[in-house]
Chains A and B, each alone.
Chain A
Amino acid sequence: MLAKRIIPCLDVKGGRVVKGVAFVDLKDAGDPVEVAKVYEAQGADELCFLDITASSDEREILLDIVRHTADEVSMPVTVGGGVRTVEDVQILLSAGADKVSINTAAVNRPEFVRDASRQFGSSTIVVAIDAKRSPDQAHWEVYTHGGRNATGLDAVEWAAKMEAYGAGEILLTSMDQDGKTTGYDLELTRAVCEHVRIPVIASGGVGTLEHLYEGVTTGKADAVLAASIFHYQTYSIQEAKHYLAKRGIPVRL
């Protein structure tokens, strides 16, 4: 049976892991490659790098991290942040990324998603959607630039449009929940999951293992992404998987 995936996410800035990582056994806990190796040893199903570097001159540092990580781990790696052109996608894939995540550039130019998925295959193209509940609570709006700019797009419709444009997967982050530890926006997750026929990764808000469980059950997500609970070693990936297995969720132990 297809397992639900547990995906740790590393936010990388200027080549370093942000969020004051607390891996005690590591020589260099800010080195994304070292952290990636720990997650591999813990049995992570995939890894996600999000480059939050503002300047593009630091791009080379990210590529170096991707190359080293791809050499050190044998699990799929998704890389996102500042991906704007087909050439950006090409460079990340050749550096060793298995999938590339596109966010703001997809909103600016949806054809970019179509071009990239035609050229490299749908399975390599992830569209990241940052969504925030509208003031009237009736729907969710897509935001770009790390949640700063409202787009007026409905998140559920946008996800379906991106599927039609060739996205192979949706990485769905609730801006309302992100950074809090009170769980995913399950209504948002479920609404998107029920509206598309491509896998959806739930993101934003995990504080407990129960939240992961809710993400795949109530939220119907195909994969669950979390950063802080794994960074701060509140839980290891193994603990998360054993918890889910005990509650009847198919996971790869």
Chain B
Amino acid sequence: MNIVIVDYGSGNLRSVQRGFERAGFSSTITRDPNVVAEATHLVVPGVGAFADCMDNLEKLQLLSPIRESIQAEKPYLGICLGLQILFTEGTEFGSKPGLGILPGQVVRFPKNDLKVPHMGWNQIQIKKEHPLLKGIPDDSYFYFVHSYYGAPKDPACVMTTTDYGEPFVSSVSKGRLFACQFHPEKSQHMGRQLLENFARL
């Protein structure tokens, strides 16, 4: 097994690596496209803006190995931005194409009484059973911090939703591809369980 965490200059990768360690798995942090291509399990984390993320992945020539890994149906775990870039298009700071693996847009929470960013521990409502959610009960709490979320066109990919004002899609899955808007590496026991489930895929 070779779990590879993609480093494109965004966010706290060490905490993801440490999360896998706690679950009993070693992993590699890299920005080398060749190392990414060698992964059996690919993890794309990230905080920040959608457009910066796509630009950095492109600059570092990481887009092709990520696409190829997904096409080869190797397990993929996207966290936060690693989820958002799977969609057709991001809308933060203007329209920007994503990887286009999941049809849909990445949109901002509506401007109303809600506090944005959506920050803190919120619950997931499980919409379809998946090996990744093994041992994770419905309504479990995970840590979120984001202002945008992916809105998939195809309801079949929705794995969980979360209620913030109204329900939004908090994780998706399609084949061996899985991505969550919340941060398993910051979500104590439940997060550890999810990372372990992913490593066992």
Contact = CB atoms under 8 A, between A and B. Distances in A.
Nearest to B47: A121
B116 A198 contact: yes
The main secondary structure of chain B at its interface with chain A is: mixed
Interface stretch (A1-9, A18-26, A29-37, A133-141): A1-9
Given A76-B143, A98-B12, A123-B145, A199 B185 contact: no
Contacts of B146: 123
A75 B117 contact: no
A33 B116 CA distance: 31
B134 interface: no
B162 to A, nearest CB: 9
Size bracket, chain B contacts: 20 to 34
Contacts, number: 87
B25 interface: no
Contact of A3 (B141, B185, B187, B188): B141
Interface string B109-131: 00100111111111100000000
B119 A169 contact: yes
B48 A74 contact: no
The main secondary structure of chain A at its interface with chain B is: loop
A4 B115 CA distance: 13
A29 to B, nearest CB: 23
B117 A198 contact: yes
A3 B117 contact: no
Nearest to B184: A74
Contact of A74 (B119, B122, B191): B191
Contacts of B47: 120-121, 123-124
A122 B122 contact: no
A18 B22 CA distance: 30
Given A70-B15, A75-B188, A123-B147, A3 B120 contact: yes
Given A121-B48, A122-B147, A198-B115, A74 B185 contact: yes
A202 interface: no
Interface string A229-253: 0000000000000000000000010
A123 B49 contact: no
B120 A197 contact: no
Interface residues of A, number: 29
Interface string A25-48: 000000000000000100101000
B192 interface: yes
Contact of B120 (A70, A93, A223): A223
Interface of A: 1-5, 40, 43, 45, 70-71, 74-76, 93, 96, 98, 120-124, 168-169, 197-199, 222-223, 252
24 contacts: A1-B122, A2-B122, A2-B164, A3-B141, A5-B121, A70-B14, A70-B18, A71-B18, A74-B19, A74-B187, A74-B188, A74-B192, A76-B143, A96-B14, A98-B15, A122-B117, A123-B47, A123-B146, A168-B117, A169-B119, A197-B114, A198-B115, A199-B119, A222-B115
Interface of B: 11-12, 14-15, 18-19, 22, 47-49, 111, 114-123, 141, 143, 145-147, 163-164, 185-188, 191-192
